[in-house]
Structure formats: structure tokens, C-alpha cells
Structure 1
Amino acid sequence: MKYMGSKAKVARYIVPIIQEQIERSGYETYLEPFCGGCNVIDKIEAPQRIASDCNKYLIALMQHIQAGGELPGYIEREEYAKVRANRDDYPEWYAGYVGFVASYNGRFFDGGYSGKTQTTGGLRDYQDEGRRNIEAQRDKLKDVIFLHKDYRAWNPTGCVIYMDPPYENTKQYKSVEIFDHADFWRVARLWSHDNIVLISEQEAPDDFVPVWIHSVTRTMNQNKTIAATEKLFVAKEVLEREEIVAAV
């Protein structure tokens, strides 16, 4: 699913790194506490896959998809405005669908309405593209355990964990509380004692090292893209303890 900060473009690089750790370690549980659009977990194989997120509308949408629920047709601008202003009057999965699929760049009511747009290549229907992307994920997500949960509520042990938090010094959702990056790295250190934790970010504290680096472009709005560098970090203690080969 299209989602702000989605790893769809780099999943083919990081999924093999994560998958190798699952197979090598023998850990049966794979956890994503910032599951977002599920563009990584839908490609991971593990005896147990758990996806959680603090956005209840996102989780409700994923559970609806998983259960084989029908998806709506084209969302007109007027309907988008109604749901945006009164999202709690609608089923959570529907508010999630409208917020992600009908918002520009999957920004959940924070990127402006996105519908059909005339481009140099012809008429482009962004909603139809988003709907088809979701449909393509159905079978891949059928056995995932979806939970509405803040990452700090987890106390994992013996898991392979992939974390894709809001990046520091980048634009965040207006509707979400300010993300505490220092506390995030504290939690990452704690979890690294008893788990294999891999983290997507651009920069990290000195006790974390990158095992993968890749240049990407990010879409900021309909007229602007920027160059950026994606990195996959692990704590030094994990790198020393586990057989992780850095691809940098």
C-alpha cells in the first residue's frame, strides 16, 4: 500500500537481509512495530508474523483487507472532505482507506486530495493504483497478526524485529504527536539485548552501525523530489553477537 515513507522501492534489498536473520537465528517470530503500508512484512516468511502500528485506522484497514472485505470505488473530493472532518463517524477501516488511498502520497489526510490527474503520459488515476496495490497484498497478509499498539508497549524476546520509525528531521503527520527519537533509540538498545533488531533511518547514534546503504529519491509533492540516503542499522552489540554481514 502507498504510504508516506514506504519501503516499497527498497524492499528488494532489505527483505533478503531480514530473511537471512530469521533463517539463521531460528527465531520463529518476526515483528514490525511500525508496519505502515506493510511493504516489507508482506514479503517476509516466518512461522509467526506480527504487524502493529499506533494508527488505529491503518490497522483496521489491514484487518479488513485480510478478512477479504470489499473496497470502495472512486472517492470524490466531497466524500474525502466529509471523512477527513468526521472520521470517527465512519467505520475505522473506511476512514483508513480514504485517508491513505485518496490522500496524496499516502499521507493520511495530510497531503491533500489525490484523484485523477492529467500527466504528460495521459490521465493517471492514483486511487485506482492504490486500490490495486492493496488488492495485490491480500494473500500475502492472510496470516499476519495485526495489532493497534504503540511500539513502546512491546516487550519482545527472541524475535527478529524490523523498525521503520518516523525519520528524524523529516516531515511528519500533523495529526500525530511529536515523535521522541531519543526514547526510540533507548528502546532499540533495550530490545537489542534479546532480539535481532534492524532499523531503517538516515542517521543513528554511535552505538548503531549501518549494514546497508542505498541512494533513493523521495517525492515531497507533485512538483518536487529530493535525493536521500536509506540506511539499515543494527546495534554494535548485535553485529558482534550475530552473523550479520554488512553490505556497505
Structure 2
Amino acid sequence: MGSKSRIAKYIVPIIQRYIDENNIDTYIEPFVGGANIIDKINCNIRIGSDLNKYLIALLNHAKRELPLYESVSKELYDKARTAFNNGNTSEFEDWQIGNIGFLASYNGRWFDGGWAKPGYEKTKNGQRYRDYYRESKDNLLIQAPNLKDIIFNSCDYNEYELFGCVIYCDPPYVNTKQYANATKFNYDEFWNTMRFWSQDNIVLVSEQSAPEDFKCIWEQEVSRSIKATDKSKSTEKLFIYNCEDSYLKTK
């Protein structure tokens, strides 16, 4: 959970500049994920949403600084995953499913990555013990005070009707491994929505590639894994709509 924490220091100033220079009052993230961008944005109204209701329940729980699971065993993880996969989570509250599914899954992959078993990993300085769940939980607890004034809700991104906002979108990346609930993501519809929103709003999109009418305004190579021994990299990019009918060009 929270892959954008690795690039927040780069893209938050870019987003903030668009807000400040255009006197924007409302900032929206329709794919809020771990809220690692929105929690650093300064704007009168901040709204974060996601289609996953368990994620939103977890964020709303955390922003009230309520306790999380002290630990998540393999047995508890398997029980929650089975309940979710069977569509019957009545034994759990929504925030509990979110807590287990995001914080206790390897790489935060929402039950797709398997239980994040604690143990030793090899680093250039020798063996290091990692308790992945505790690291994820502690990070969320530290983050919690910065979530207090954010409005979190569960909805599909295309349910929004927006005007005069700065919108940052971090959709499922094309040609990468997706969460199970994002495998049918309609990219054509998404980019058409970004074009439509861009007529009345400032829209910024994180992706690795974009259609030709979107301009890359920033890029950076970043690590793809939480494991010290995994040296795989990807190039993160930030795009903005670059046509004459965009909000910035018609102001």
C-alpha cells in the first residue's frame, strides 16, 4: 500500500504549484490508493476516492486515529482472504478487511501478493529482519494525523462531475500486473474522461505512457519492489492534456 510514497517528493510540488498559481479551492484524487500524495497537498477541500470500499473504510478508520490490528497471522490473513473471495465478509468490519488485505499482503497487493511473512532478507550490509506488516501499519499510523481533513469516499472515478479543480489520477497502469478488481479497466474510456475533465479542470495523470495529446511534464526511474535484493526499476511519468480546449489554455 502506498507505492506513490517513493515519488511524492517529486510530484507533490508540481501539483501544489498548479493549485497555488491558479487559486484552486478543491483538489481531488479519484484513485487515492494509500493517500501518499493527497496527505501532502495543501488545499481548502481535499477529496480522495477509490472503488475499493475496504480501502476507504481503512483510511476513514485511520484518519480518526483508531487502533489497527497489532499483528496479522497467516491464519487470520487466510480467513479474511477466503471471506473476501467468497463475497461474505460478515464476520469482519470493512476496515478490518482493508487492514488485513492491504497492510498484510506482500507489496500491499490486496490479497494478490500473498501474506507478507516476516523474516530475514539479504542486503549489501548483511541480513536484515523485516516485519512487513508492522512496517506498513506503523507507516499508516504516522500518516494518520495528515488524513484528518480529507474527505474519503468509495465510488468509480467516472461518477464525478467536476469544475475548476485540480485532479490527480493514478489509474491502474497499462501492461502491468493489476489487482484482481482492476483487470477489466477500460483505458480508452479513462483517457476520454481525462480529456473531458481537462476542459474545465487541471488534470494530472501518473502513468508510464499516454496518448499523443498528453504531454509528459516529469519522469523519474524508481524501484518497483520493497525487497532490498530486488533491483527492478520502472519509469514513473506525469502527464497533462496538451490541446487547445484544455482549461489552462482557455483561461
Q: Same-fold call, TM > 0.5?
A: yes
Aligned match of 1:65 = 62
Q: How much has 1:175 moved relative to structure 2? A: 3.7
Instruction: Work out whether 1:52 is the aligned partner of 2:49.
Output: yes
Aligned amino acid, residue 16 of structure 1:
P
Q: How much has 1:227 moved relative to structure 2? A: 2.1
Q: How much has 1:132 moved relative to structure 2? A: 0.7
Secondary structure at the aligned position of 2:185 is classed as coil
Instruction: Work out whether 1:97 is the aligned partner of 2:99.
Output: yes
Secondary structure at the aligned position of 1:198 is classed as strand
Query: Are the equivalent residues in 2 in contact too, given 1:188–1:197 (CA < 8 A)?
Result: yes
Secondary structure at the aligned position of 2:232 is classed as strand
Q: How much has 1:221 moved relative to structure 2? A: 7.7
Aligned match of 1:246 = none
**Structure 2 residue ranges without an equivalent (≥5):** none
Query: Are the equivalent residues in 2 in contact too, given 1:220–1:226 (CA < 8 A)?
Result: no
Aligned amino acid, residue 241 of structure 1:
K
Q: Distance in 2 between matches of 1:101 and 1:190?
A: 35
Instruction: Work out whether 1:16 is the aligned partner of 2:42.
Output: no
Q: How much has 1:197 moved relative to structure 2? A: 0.3
Aligned amino acid, residue 46 of structure 1:
C
Aligned amino acid, residue 153 of structure 2:
L
Q: 1:110 aligns with which of 103, 109, 112?
A: 112
Secondary structure at the aligned position of 2:4 is classed as coil
Q: 1:207 aligns with which of 195, 213, 216?
A: 213
Q: Distance in 1 between matches of 2:40 and 2:226?
A: 26
Count of equivalent residues: 240
Alignment TM-score, normalising by the size of structure 1 = 0.92
Q: 1:144 aligns with which of 133, 141, 150?
A: 150
Aligned amino acid, residue 146 of structure 1:
F
**Structure 1 residue ranges without an equivalent (≥5):** 244-248
Aligned match of 2:23 = 26
Secondary structure at the aligned position of 2:42 is classed as coil
Instruction: Work out whether 1:241 is the aligned partner of 2:249.
Output: yes
Q: 1:119 aligns with which of 110, 118, 121?
A: 121
Q: How much has 1:240 moved relative to structure 2? A: 6.0
Aligned match of 1:158 = 164
Q: Distance in 1 between matches of 2:108 and 2:228?
A: 13
